[in-house]
Amino acid sequence: MLSIRKIGVLGRTYRHLNRYRQILSILFRYGFGDLIELLKIDQYLEIGLQFVAKNRTEPLEKLTRAQKIRMALEELGPTYIKLGQILSTRPDLIPVDFIEELAKLQDDVPSVPFSEINQILHHQLGDTLENLFEFMDETSIASASIGQVHKAGLKSGEVVAIKIQRPGIRKIIEVDLEIMLHLATLAEKNIEEFSFYRPVKIVEEFARTLEREIDYTIEAANLERMGLNFLDDETVYIPKVYRELTTSRILVMEFIEGIKVSQIESLDASGIDRKTVTIRGADICLKQIFNDGFFHADPHPGNIFVLPGNVICLLDFGMVGSVDRQTRENFVELVDSVVHRHESRATQVLLKLTLWDYEPDMRALERDVADFLGQHLYKPLKDIKIGKLLQNLLELTSRHRLRIAPDIFLMLKALGTLEGVALALDPEFDIISRAEPFIMRIKMDRFHPKRLTGDMLQTVSELLEVLQQLPRDFREISKFIRRRQIPLLIEQKGIDNTLSTYDKISNRISFSIIIAALIVGSALIVFSRTPPFFYGISLIGIIGFLAAAVMGLWLIVAILRKGRL
């Protein structure tokens, strides 16, 4: 597990200081000095901040803020590149205009020397390379920020690809995540407009995602699950995983020799039928999403190989998505209402598929949905582009502060990526028409007798559970009431104003009674000629009358100030 701590005093330790200085220097270089000042970071990093400030340069005026962030992340290294890549799939966390720019982030880096790779293999597998493998190429065939891939041969004669995590990458990630969490906390505390994007939540989500990505056993499980889903489909091939040689830092899988789907000339030279490959690739992606609800979330050309016989092979299952049956049905309902240009129903279903803090203005949202439908749907289906449609949908939801859930966005993005790959192979390909049978099957499945029976049985089962639980719940509640462990709170809205009014009325009545008592009492004292006397009149009586007069005037003034007697 990643060990991530909040930085308090840690911000001044050597563990973070050098990296903090490097991060701040890069942020200054790309024109984010104003942001650093707003963060009030100087109180946490007094040492070295003046040194960093000397390296400040003028903002790069020709670049957008999104471009500058993307370039800064590239320079900040592996953890921040991964942050940008993951955020490019999270429209629920960042503004729409940043998504397209962050999607351009690449993490191709130089390979680690083979001597260090050898040490990791020996430590993880508990044996020497000579005993484990027949051969292993010292030159990597792919290298990224978190790991690199080497070709090797097993003693059994099978050729494998070994994905090995870079040495020390966990320590680097932990330090960077702690600094990120600190910066996010300061941003949420000191910059009001950042609160909507919840930077602390972004870092916490990123840490969880990165934890899954650097655990190669999770990727192995994804490979095996996908292999089972396509076990009887001869048009697709999923590489075999060698579990006995796989650990959290090493993934050993079958080595695939094929042609990347982006290498059009090589495909044509090998006699591959591009139209067949396009149709099969689309069907594979659509089956994953609409039938299985478990899909490859990054089907870019580098992850799709074509094997002899027009067989499609999918690679790199570090990023996958999953959507439950209800979400798939909601999505199909959205598509159906969009196709039939039903603005009100499309708006309602869109709300089911999104998250929001405050309910949006429904009339404005319906108006924008109608504009969206008019922009995309009054044209032939083959002319509708999913990529453009997705971009406009994100702009619409962002405008109304609706957040598309991550897996739904990954699904839409996977469809958009698939469309791009398909059009490169076959410019006449119409993905909307190809998806129609899958969508229709989901619509029909909702009314299938087996499905209706299953839903009814589930409802009855849940109702029986509630009925069985009720007597136990009542017994528990009565037990707590007998023990006086449950306070009874009754809230009556508006009662405070009523009580205040009654309080004022009772005060005035009490005041009036006291005045009347003073008058009557003073009169009795005067008539009984109680000494001492003032000009032959009882002084105590005179004082009583004066007190009653003052209090009476006070009461009259108070009533007149309220405007009513």
β-partners of residue 250 are 164
Sheet containing strand 236-237, edge to edge, reads 236-237, 311-314, 304-307, 259-260
357-376 pLDDT per residue, tens: 778 888 888 888 888 877 76
pLDDT for residue 47 is more than 70: no
261-289 pLDDT per residue, tens: 989 999 999 999 999 999 999 999 999 99
Least confident of 163-167, 239-243, 551-555: 551-555
pLDDT for residue 113 is more than 80: yes
CA distance 248 to 218: 8
337-355 pLDDT per residue, tens: 776 778 888 888 888 888 8
CA distance 359 to 354: 11
Mean pLDDT of all residues in 309-313:
93
Mean pLDDT of all residues in 327-339:
81
Say what the alpha-carbon torsion angle 376, 377, 380, 383 is, to the nearest 10 degrees: 20
With cut-offs at 50, 70 and 90, classify the pLDDT of residue 480.
confident
CB 119 within 8 A of CB 113: no
Q: What's phi and psi for 124, nearest 5 deg? A: -75, -40
- Token code pair at residue 143: 């290298």
DSSP annotation of 534: E
Instruction: For the chain, give the mean pLDDT.
Output: 80
- Residues involved in catalysis: 298
- Between residues 295 and 395, which one has the greater pLDDT? 295
CB 276 within 8 A of CB 310: yes
Can you tell me which residue has the tokens 């396509």?
Answer: 230
70-100 pLDDT per residue, tens: 888 888 888 888 888 888 877 766 777 788 7
pLDDT at 9: 42
- Token code pair at residue 235: 């048009």
Whether the model pTM is above 0.85 = no
Secondary structure of residue 151 in the 3-state scheme: strand
**Amino acid in the structure at residue 42:** D
Q: What's phi and psi for 263, nearest 5 deg? A: -90, 75
Secondary structure of residue 103 in the 3-state scheme: coil
Query: How many C-beta atoms surround the C-beta of residue 467 within 10 A?
Result: 9
Q: Which helix (H) or strand (E) holds 160?
A: strand 159-165
CA distance 501 to 196: 42
**Of the candidates 244, 417, 389, 395, the residue with the CA atom closest to the CA atom of residue 319:** 417
Both ends of the chain: CA-CA distance in Å? 75
pLDDT at 352: 86
Q: Angle, nearest 10°, between helix axes 169-190 and 14-29?
A: 60
CA distance 505 to 499: 10
- Token code pair at residue 4: 């991530």
Homologous superfamily of 113-166+215-255 in CATH? Phosphorylase Kinase; domain 1 (3.30.200.20)
**Amino acid in the structure at residue 62:** K
pLDDT for residue 36 is more than 50: yes
Q: What share of the chain is helix, strand, coil (3-state, %, to 5)?
A: 65, 10, 30
pLDDT at 541: 77
With cut-offs at 50, 70 and 90, classify the pLDDT of residue 311.
very high
CA distance 486 to 557: 48
pLDDT at 276: 94
- Token code pair at residue 223: 């490979």
Helices (H), 378-536: 386-399, 406-425, 431-445, 449-482, 495-527
pLDDT at 238: 94
**Triad 327, 330, 335: Cα angle to 5°:** 125
Q: Angle, nearest 10°, between helix axes 46-53 and 14-29?
A: 30
CB contact set of 352 (below 8 Å; sequence gap of 6+): 330
pLDDT for residue 51 is more than 50: no
CB 498 within 8 A of CB 506: no
Percent of the chain with pLDDT over 70: 84
- Token code pair at residue 437: 């049978």
CB 208 within 8 A of CB 201: no
pLDDT at 246: 94
CB 379 within 8 A of CB 261: no
Secondary structure of residue 143 in the 3-state scheme: strand
For the chain, the domains span 9-108+176-206, 113-166+215-255, 259-447, 456-489, 495-562
- β-bridge pairing 311-314 and 236-237: parallel
With cut-offs at 50, 70 and 90, classify the pLDDT of residue 25.
confident
CA distance 544 to 311: 110
pLDDT at 108: 66
With cut-offs at 50, 70 and 90, classify the pLDDT of residue 12.
very low
Which range of 185-189, 231-235, 299-303, 415-419 scores highest in mean pLDDT? It is 231-235
